[in-house]
Amino acid sequence: MVFIGSIVEKKDENDFDRILRHELETTGTKATVVRINEKSMNNIKNIHFETIIMNRNLNEEQKKDLKEILKNTKYFIVNSDIINMEQIQNMNLTVITYGFGSKCTVTASSMQEDNIIFCLQRGIENTNNTKIEPQELKIKIMPKVRHHYLQMAISIVNLLYSKS
């Protein structure tokens, strides 16, 4: 059983967590998704997360708490269009950035009405220690995912936890 943390806007929490759980089930991954927010931050410092997804900024106190949590985390999936990356430098974890910037690990190279062409710009190693080479993937837009950033985050989780 792995623990996956999600740090998303309050309005997105329910849909994001539900879709994330569903996607993990399709990969056969037994996981517990834990919301990380202002109320839970102090209570979860002892949980060893395998993955944390971050799609919103935190205040300075929360950033310090997150840095403690990240010490025991393997993957940090972070929206680099809105998150200051300085807070996670020199940490022993795999950082996978996503967004529309050219330096992101994952970006959208094309967006259409019902799908996104998702570009993995650098190779990553998934949870099975399999190297996933840079490539473009066509991703069907999921219903109830409010914006493309969350779509990218969920697609990264699919890559990390897929069995192939």
Q: Which domains does the chain have, with CATH numbers?
A: 2-99+146-161 (3.40.50.720)
Q: Can you spell out the DSSP letters for 55-114?
A: -S---HHHHHHHHHHHTT-SEEEEETTTS-GGGGTT-SSEEEEEESSTTSSEEEEEE-SS
Nearby residues of 25 by Cβ (< 8 Å), 6 or more positions away:
none
pLDDT > 90: percent of the chain: 47
pLDDT surpassing 70 at residue 64: yes
Predicted confidence at residue 53, as pLDDT, reads: 96
The pLDDT tens digits for 71-126 are 889 999 999 888 766 666 667 889 999 998 888 999 988 887 788 898 999 999 99
The pLDDT tens digits for 137-155 are 998 877 666 677 888 999 9
Contacts 24+ apart (CB under 8 A), 95-103: 96/124, 96/156, 96/160, 98/149, 98/152, 98/153, 98/156, 99/149, 99/152
Q: What is the average pLDDT across 68-73?
A: 89
pLDDT > 70: percent of the chain: 93
Determine how many CB atoms are found less than 10 A away from the CB of residue 62: 16
Amino acid at 90: N
Which is higher by pLDDT, 115 or 131? 131
Mean pLDDT, the chain, rounded, equals 88
pLDDT surpassing 90 at residue 131: yes
Predicted confidence at residue 134, as pLDDT, reads: 96
